[in-house]
Structure 1
């Protein structure tokens, strides 16, 4: 509900449970975590008056009644407020309670605003907000600010993944989320309009080392571990662990400051649950503990990362009936409580309120049925990022098993939806940014998989079980080789080979059908690189007209430690020219022409001098349109470098190199620190009228908590495949 001026009474919210039945006596709004700002979607996106939709989440002590959020236009780039279009008076938005129990309450504000002729700064304020305990009060004269592009422009995007630390990280060396300082510096110079989280926005792995799963993990017999019950006591302790870990991490600066002022779009991955979730053997993944923590992690993923109410209860072996597997227990006499046809656990609803949603936001593409271990439907996403860029994210964790990433029906629903929405733009959408949690254009490691699964490992496993030999080699769950769950996560793993190929063909066909360039984002691997699919050189198809040219920006990790130099160098040596099919090749670009911070005091080389394609150092990426839009009447989102833009050629005058690891179109020429896009602050014009500039910001020195980075740039051309008389079966 929104109003202009005074707040209207809040509409009643339907839900299940009665809540803790407490009323706060404090004079202020006690906030435990937040505000957290999300972007959702655009409406009227193809009209002259598009609308921006987002949300603001706060976590409070129970019994609170938050005042309405106040939103106003704060300023326009290169203009004054008087020229603003649309309704820009201060508006208020009511707080909607999503969840409440005796420890906390989650409130969400669904906000919307009109795009302006120029890039605009918006300000929001939640009145009387203090940190829990009353130690700090938000200054009412200093509202939180965020930026929205001109209605004629597309979003300036920040992409990150792996925002946390693996168990066992040396915290004396890797000192916190330092690169978020660099993100905020870049934000101050040229604002981001959205930040895309590619998975592992939080690391919950310590639930097994320092949390409630520690006694379970210590059970030496795999059979006893599989049969261990996930009862109400363990569920409650895991619930508290996941909630406390979110509050701690999302309240850590400077990450917390970025959460409040850069709208987020997130898809989860394994560490948002626990390391390797979904990629262990099926008989072990089916155990009660994995199903239980999958449900608890999903609950807080919905609340903190999507700002939507969770399912009313999650799996326990103490409940009368699990929601999808029909497990019965000793509580058979408990009264049946149902919502939307799903059995609930009344024990979990004691003194608890959960909002009952009436609809799904249009930005979600829901999977056709529940996942095998997380007993909920996958939550895939599509939305438009301004005038010419669309975003789509595949939830590659909810449906994952060791042998599949997503159901075939999910791919069908997903790509049908994308084709429909892109088609409705009538050619306005020039780029699709597609998020996959794990890279898809990446060196093959099947030789390593074969070694780890070979009989050679058998004697080592026996010595491990009997005498603890090579303890670090084997995981604490199913006794398998620890590295295998990471390898099994990769699209390039042997068991995902067919699914990977089918997915790439779907992407290529979508690009061809709508003449839209698809750029893939991927994280997970803790290093940065640029993979590309492209038509084989003998077909002589310029990248500008090649629907098979699909770059894969690999940006990981923004916070976690990188792999050792030896691993990155090994991957670089495995960077072969791979043949996907008779028309498509793939390889990594030799992007890193210098070491980040080379020559500066205290900065050490990150990889071998011969390694130009994999960089083992913390990083994040920036993606923005390469050319200002000629239809805008105001200043664009960033000035054009070197004066006028480069001409938009068709690439026919570009000669392909003999080594396809080198630049294969004009936008890749001089890729690296010398490329004009390396600063991340200017438009190069090198990718033509509708191209993209990409910057990968790489940490110079992990011992410097300021988080300063070196930039590496390249550009991605738009696609115009219409009318081209090329070669290959798909033309």
Structure 2
């Protein structure tokens, strides 16, 4: 294949798993292509892949090349003269990486690359030693909070809103936000540490608030349902589908549960493995974490017979300590009231107590299926930790939290406060107490260091370990 020199300006490929069917992985390779630059073909053992343009921005177009690879053997594809090996033998032993919080709220695009992406570089070296078959992204793949800056309608979002913006002003805001979201995704996807592994490991992504804006859904309705708020959500949703799923609203991959896209929950089944990712943002309100679509997805999942392991991706931790005490204190201290939305984001918020119990009952029902185990995967809190919920007959459901891959850790004192709060325990359901546990080798329940999670299946048994920035790789723990 002839090398085209101008392809040096193309960002990609970013490999995304669409769905599985009859022992075939349906994949998309995403490219960000400057205007006027030809896109070289993607080829596999089966031939040339079909490429489709997904979106156009002022500086580039977004393209996706779709192709299939087998699920019962390792495989490859080529692009622009380079061959990319892909560990697609999902029928046997398997390694999965789980990451979250790939950025920060302020100044993320100005951070020095090797510092920002140090954990991505570690993940790259892990893959070189023992390849990963999947890369799960648990939310906040981008931090888009600053996208609202530099426009008169959104400069002071969400504190101040214009009273009655015109259609022309809102269209101008729409254009401004689209370009700002593009800028953030392009910056992240071109970083060499991320780009190397993203081209070789199929990704599955679930969004959280910073993929839209800080606290989306936990902000007051006067903000989220305002013309500015709805414009922001529309742009963020388009960018989420284009850049994180290589799709558009009218061509969602088969793993999505609502073909109309009113909620963006998805699940996917592999040999003895199911990954379920409900959408905790599209239907969220200050009183509801999920709407009818999300609940229908989880209830349908509960009713399906499945043997093997289910990983439930809950972008905010499903098992956690009692937060009502902190919420009550915040109400009394004006300086802390600005953090109310952060706590309201959590399942454990007193505003979501009934929803939390409902979700936990569904998880217990799923855990009771024969020959079936459920493990929750979460991020969001910028700390590493784990938790368990007691089931019948002495069994436990595990939750593993890895956060963040690029977000710098909060002060250690915050981790200690949460650890002390967790000492009291929590039992939203009688006879099913929740406990925050220590990661093997750690002194405290919460670890204030950057981290990612490694899930490994060997001979049908699963283990989990955390790669923690200063502490190093934790000992494998059976789950």
Measure the CA separation in 2 of the matches of 1:37 and 1:306: 9
- Matching of residue 58 in structure 1 with residue 36 in structure 2: no
Q: Tell me, what secondary structure is at the counterpart of 2:87?
A: strand
- Matching of residue 449 in structure 1 with residue 388 in structure 2: no
- Matching of residue 613 in structure 1 with residue 445 in structure 2: yes
- Matching of residue 176 in structure 1 with residue 145 in structure 2: no
Q: Is the 8 A contact 1:273 1:293 kept in 2?
A: yes
Shift of 1:446: 1.3
- The residue correspondences of 1:287-306 to structure 2 (distance < 5 A) are 287-306=226-245
Question: Which residue matches 1:93?
Answer: 49
Q: Is the 8 A contact 1:528 1:619 kept in 2?
A: yes
Measure the CA separation in 2 of the matches of 1:713 and 1:213: 49
Aligned-residue Cα RMSD (Å) equals 2.7
Shift in CA distance, 515/187, structure 1 to aligned 2, threshold 3 Å:
same
What is the CA deviation profile of residues 319-352 of structure 1, one whole-angstrom value per residue up to 9, with x for unaligned ones?
xxxxxxxxxxxxxxxxxxxxxxxxxxxxxxxxxx
Measure the CA separation in 1 of the matches of 2:62 and 2:157: 36
Measure the CA separation in 1 of the matches of 2:140 and 2:353: 24
Q: Is the 8 A contact 1:697 1:712 kept in 2?
A: no
Shift in CA distance, 27/156, structure 1 to aligned 2, threshold 3 Å:
closer
Q: Is the 8 A contact 1:622 1:694 kept in 2?
A: yes
Shift in CA distance, 580/174, structure 1 to aligned 2, threshold 3 Å:
farther
Shift in CA distance, 713/195, structure 1 to aligned 2, threshold 3 Å:
same
Question: Which residue matches 2:437?
Answer: 589
Shift of 1:390: 0.8
TM-score, normalised relative to structure 1: 0.61
- Counterpart selection for 2:467 from 682, 691, 697: 697
Shift of 1:591: 2.5
- Counterpart selection for 2:203 from 243, 247, 264: 264
Q: Is the 8 A contact 2:283 2:290 kept in 1?
A: yes
Question: Which residue matches 2:265?
Answer: 380
Question: Which residue matches 2:283?
Answer: 399
Q: Is the 8 A contact 1:366 1:378 kept in 2?
A: yes
The size of the alignment, in residue pairs, is 473
* Larger helix share, 1 or 2: 2
Shift of 1:166: 2.2
Q: Tell me, what secondary structure is at the counterpart of 1:584?
A: coil
- Counterpart selection for 2:130 from 176, 182, 190: 190
Q: Is the 8 A contact 1:365 1:414 kept in 2?
A: no
> Which of the pair has more CA radius of gyration?
1
Shift of 1:41: 2.6
Shift in CA distance, 38/154, structure 1 to aligned 2, threshold 3 Å:
farther
- Matching of residue 490 in structure 1 with residue 346 in structure 2: yes
- The residue correspondences of 1:437-476 to structure 2 (distance < 5 A) are 437-454=315-332, 456-457=333-334
Q: Is the 8 A contact 1:55 1:110 kept in 2?
A: yes
- Counterpart selection for 1:284 from 220, 223, 229: 223
Measure the CA separation in 2 of the matches of 1:172 and 1:258: 19
Measure the CA separation in 2 of the matches of 1:364 and 1:220: 30
Shift in CA distance, 100/216, structure 1 to aligned 2, threshold 3 Å:
closer
Measure the CA separation in 2 of the matches of 1:249 and 1:383: 26
Shift of 1:592: 4.7
Q: Tell me, what secondary structure is at the counterpart of 2:115?
A: coil
Shift in CA distance, 281/529, structure 1 to aligned 2, threshold 3 Å:
same
- Gap regions ≥5 residues in structure 1: 1-5, 7-25, 45-49, 73-89, 128-139, 311-355, 370-375, 458-469, 474-480, 544-548, 595-610, 629-689, 702-708, 717-731
TM-score, normalised relative to structure 2: 0.91
Shift of 1:397: 0.8
Q: Is the 8 A contact 1:697 1:711 kept in 2?
A: yes
- Counterpart selection for 1:510 from 349, 354, 366: 366
- Matching of residue 147 in structure 1 with residue 31 in structure 2: no
Shift of 1:256: 1.5
What is the CA deviation profile of residues 408-464 of structure 1, one whole-angstrom value per residue up to 9, with x for unaligned ones?
4431233314633xx2x5xxx31100001000111122112112223x52xxxxxxx
Shift in CA distance, 453/389, structure 1 to aligned 2, threshold 3 Å:
same
Shift in CA distance, 401/616, structure 1 to aligned 2, threshold 3 Å:
same
Question: Which residue matches 2:478?
Answer: 715
Shift of 1:168: 6.0
Shift in CA distance, 32/591, structure 1 to aligned 2, threshold 3 Å:
same
Measure the CA separation in 1 of the matches of 2:36 and 2:302: 42
Shift in CA distance, 620/221, structure 1 to aligned 2, threshold 3 Å:
closer
Further displaced range: 612-621 or 228-237: 228-237
- Matching of residue 622 in structure 1 with residue 462 in structure 2: no
